[in-house]
């Protein structure tokens, strides 16, 4: 236990309680023996004048911990983070507790306050104060942020992100493992394009990464502050080449090219069956459903064709897609849902498509004159290599973070690495462009600070207990744990550690603790 504690009582413009009630409330707060406390009362604690005055008091009086009361429960966390930034205190040493309005017009106690509400609020404040006293002061430091950015993948997402970042003034390296840049984009002075280069090593922490690229001239080492993964989900740049390799039938074509291929394959106008297949290996997005429905509707309206759309599930979760679905059905498009594997065999009459009907639960076959397959539903080479090199965790489909509801749209489990586009399973052009811009803005938000404020509240390892079993290193999803060879024990990086507690929970020797979430602190918050 050490450090002076500050308690901020905000009346929120006297909406929660008056200044007199706040003073009465403060007089009822009890402290442990020897505890040094400073109480600050204001009607607008979030405003600049109070924050500026509080910051001076913190510096002059040596306050290392802060308890904020009086805010709405839904705003406590936001206010706590704001105080941490404005007052230059570690976020782990700032707690917030919501205090209910202390006057209800009934059951007034000797201080003119509702005794029941007062007692509950006092208990909440007391628990947080006790928890704060168990936390040692947490130091802060600043590290410089490298202003270079590495973008892997030269498709729509990578090119868009590189262009946005170059306009912000960053030096961007745009890499492509194939011999040609897929999207040329604008020629920008700050963008260096490297073709035929593959990312083979990536180490470091947010703001200070070291990347190794393997290319025609050998290995190339780059330093960067952030990485954007925008590589394509798969190794083939040509859908036609990909489909021919998989199905070995000229009557199997790419869905986007299906409408144009009909005239070349089916020159004699007569009744024909056209198949469209989605989701062969992977569940696709609404973008694929929209493309399939529009193509099916256009072909079906030519009267000489019967279009059959095969999918595991048709995704029409928007008003315009529902209308498109209805129009396709009314025009005569047959939609068949299937389960299991899809097989396509060649015959003299055409291509035979065999599936298990999801409704009939029986295997059925259809003879098609031409089949259009969405290449985005094929399990191409996934992002395993990129994932293993960078530490970014893929989802069950091998994509990077597409289905992780715990992360923001373009962020990953590794601080400083962002994703956009096809590697996340995004194939809708407008959404790809949007994701790329968001990723670029997130990088700008990070690097524009020039330096990163680091809070040293990372997981702490007791070297005497650590058996170097590597459990924490394998368990940490943020690549924050590594071996300190001088200490002969595991160690956590303060820049990368997210204080999630997984390492502490998994450590068989109980050698790891989190300073702000130790067992003692949590029990104190619960009132034990």
Q: d(Cα 254, Cα 265) in Å, to the nearest integer?
A: 13
Give whole-number Cα distances, 181 to 58, 121, 395, 458, in Å: 54, 62, 27, 41
Q: Residue 237: what pLDDT?
A: 45
* Residues recorded for the chain: 528
Give whole-number Cα distances, 342 to 280, 282, 354, 376, 477, in Å: 6, 12, 6, 15, 36
If one compares 23 and 149, the residue with the highest pLDDT of the two is: 149
If one compares 184 and 225, the residue with the highest pLDDT of the two is: 225
**Class of 148-235+382-448 in CATH:** alpha beta
Contact 6, 66 (CB under 8 A): yes
Tokens matching residue 497: 């550690």
| Mean pLDDT, residues 3-21 taken together | 79
Q: Give Cβ neighbours of residue 344 (< 8 Å, ≥ 6 apart).
A: 247, 249, 252, 351, 352, 353, 354, 371
At the topology level of CATH, where does 4-138 sit? Rossmann fold (3.40.50)
pLDDT band at 393 (very low <50, low <70, confident <90, very high): confident
Q: In terms of Cα–Cα distance, which of 366, 232, 337 is closest to 279?
A: 337
Backbone angles phi, psi at 374, to 5 degrees: -75, 120
| Mean pLDDT, residues 132-148 taken together | 90
| Mean pLDDT, residues 243-254 taken together | 80
What digits encode the pLDDT tens for the residues 303-350?
889 999 999 988 887 888 899 999 999 999 999 999 988 888 888 888
pTM recorded for the entire structure: 0.71
Q: In terms of Cα–Cα distance, which of 115, 50, 36 is closest to 87?
A: 50
Q: d(Cα 523, Cα 512) in Å, to the nearest integer?
A: 17
pLDDT band at 107 (very low <50, low <70, confident <90, very high): very low
Q: Which residues pair with 471 in a beta bridge?
A: none
If one compares 155 and 77, the residue with the highest pLDDT of the two is: 155
Query: What 3-state class would DSSP assign to 352?
Result: strand
Q: d(Cα 133, Cα 212) in Å, to the nearest integer?
A: 46
Q: d(Cα 411, Cα 409) in Å, to the nearest integer?
A: 6
Q: Please check whether the two domains, 239-375 and 455-525, share a CATH topology.
A: no
Q: Give Cβ neighbours of residue 290 (< 8 Å, ≥ 6 apart).
A: 321, 324, 428
Q: In terms of Cα–Cα distance, which of 432, 384, 427 is closest to 409?
A: 432
Q: Residue 17: what pLDDT?
A: 73
Q: d(Cα 488, Cα 461) in Å, to the nearest integer?
A: 11
Contact 513, 504 (CB under 8 A): yes
Tokens matching residue 35: 């505890």
Query: What 3-state class would DSSP assign to 83?
Result: helix
CATH of 239-375, one of 2.40.50.140, 3.40.50.720, 3.40.1180.10, 3.50.50.60: 3.50.50.60
Contact 225, 245 (CB under 8 A): no
Q: Residue 186: what pLDDT?
A: 58
Query: What 3-state class would DSSP assign to 131?
Result: helix
pLDDT band at 396 (very low <50, low <70, confident <90, very high): low
Q: d(Cα 211, Cα 502) in Å, to the nearest integer?
A: 27
Q: Give Cβ neighbours of residue 423 (< 8 Å, ≥ 6 apart).
A: 153, 229, 230, 231, 232, 233, 383, 386, 399, 400
Q: Residue 402: what pLDDT?
A: 59
At the topology level of CATH, where does 455-525 sit? Alpha-Beta Plaits (3.30.70)
Name the DSSP letter for residue 411. B
What digits encode the pLDDT tens for the residues 433-469?
888 999 999 999 999 999 998 989 999 999 999 999 9
| Domain boundaries, given as residue ranges, for the chain | 4-138, 148-235+382-448, 239-375, 455-525
Tokens matching residue 214: 């393997």
> pLDDT at residue 173 above 90?
yes
| Mean pLDDT, residues 56-79 taken together | 80
Tell me the average pLDDT of the chain.
84
Q: d(Cα 325, Cα 328) in Å, to the nearest integer?
A: 5
Q: d(Cα 371, Cα 325) in Å, to the nearest integer?
A: 20
Handedness of CA 322, 328, 330, 332 (dihedral sign): negative
DSSP secondary structure string, 447-496? HTTSEEEEE----EE-TTT-----HHHHH-TTS-EEEETTTTEEEE-TTT
Q: d(Cα 274, Cα 94) in Å, to the nearest integer?
A: 64
């Amino acid at each position: 236990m050490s450090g002076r504690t500050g308690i901020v009582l905000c009346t929120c413009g006297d909406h929660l309680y008056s200044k007199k009630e706040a003073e009465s409330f403060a007089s009822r707060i009890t402290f442990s023996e020897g505890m040094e406390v400073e109480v600050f009362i204001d009607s607008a604690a979030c405003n600049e004048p109070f924050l500026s005055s509080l910051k001076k008091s913190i510096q002059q009086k040596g306050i290392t911990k802060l308890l904020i009361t009086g805010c709405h429960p839904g705003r406590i966390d936001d206010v706590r983070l704001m105080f941490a930034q404005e007052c230059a205190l570690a976020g782990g040493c700032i707690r917030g507790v919501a205090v209910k309005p202390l006057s209800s017009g009934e059951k007034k106690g000797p201080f003119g306050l509702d005794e029941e509400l007062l007692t509950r609020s006092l208990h909440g404040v007391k628990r947080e104060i006790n928890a704060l006293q168990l936390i040692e002061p947490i130091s802060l430091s600043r590290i410089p942020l490298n202003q270079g950015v590495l973008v892997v993948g030269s498709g729509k997402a990578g090119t868009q992100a590189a262009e946005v970042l170059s306009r912000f003034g960053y030096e961007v390296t745009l890499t492509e493992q194939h011999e040609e840049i897929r999207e040329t984009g604008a020629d920008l002075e700050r963008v260096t394009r490297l073709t035929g280069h593959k990312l083979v090593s990536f180490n470091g922490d947010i703001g200070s990464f070291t990347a190794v690229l393997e290319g025609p001239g050998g290995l190339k080492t780059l330093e960067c502050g952030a990485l954007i993964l925008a590589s394509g989900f798969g190794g083939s740049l040509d859908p036609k080449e990909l489909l021919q390799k998989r199905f070995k039938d000229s009557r199997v074509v790419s869905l986007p090219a299906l409408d144009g291929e009909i005239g070349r394959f089916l020159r004699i106008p007569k009744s024909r069956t056209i198949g469209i297949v989605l989701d062969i290996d992977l569940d696709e997005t609404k973008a694929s459903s929209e493309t399939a429905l529009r193509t099916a509707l256009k072909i079906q309206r030519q009267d000489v064709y019967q279009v059959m759309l095969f999918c595991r599930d048709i995704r029409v979760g928007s008003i315009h897609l529902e209308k498109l679905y209805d129009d396709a059905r009314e025009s005569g498009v047959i939609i068949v849902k299937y389960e299991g594997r899809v097989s396509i065999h060649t015959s003299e009459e055409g291509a035979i498509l065999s599936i298990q009907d999801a409704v009939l639960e029986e295997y059925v076959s259809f003879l098609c004159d031409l089949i259009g397959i969405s290449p985005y539903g094929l399990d191409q080479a996934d992002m395993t290599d990129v994932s293993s090199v960078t530490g970014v965790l893929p989802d069950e489909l091998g994509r990077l973070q597409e289905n992780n509801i715990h992360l923001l749209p373009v962020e990953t489990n590794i601080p400083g690495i962002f994703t956009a586009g096809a590697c996340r399973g995004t194939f809708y052009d407008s959404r790809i462009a949007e994701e790329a811009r968001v990723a670029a803005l997130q990088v700008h938000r990070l690097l524009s600070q020039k330096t990163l404020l680091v809070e040293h509240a990372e997981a702490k390892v007791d070297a005497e207990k650590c058996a170097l079993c590597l459990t924490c290193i394998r368990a940490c999803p943020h690549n924050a744990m590594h071996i300190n060879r001088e200490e002969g024990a595991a160690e956590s990086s303060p820049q990368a550690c997210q204080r999630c507690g997984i390492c502490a929970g998994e450590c068989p020797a109980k050698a790891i603790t989190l300073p702000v979430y130790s067992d003692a602190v949590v029990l104190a918050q619960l009132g034990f």
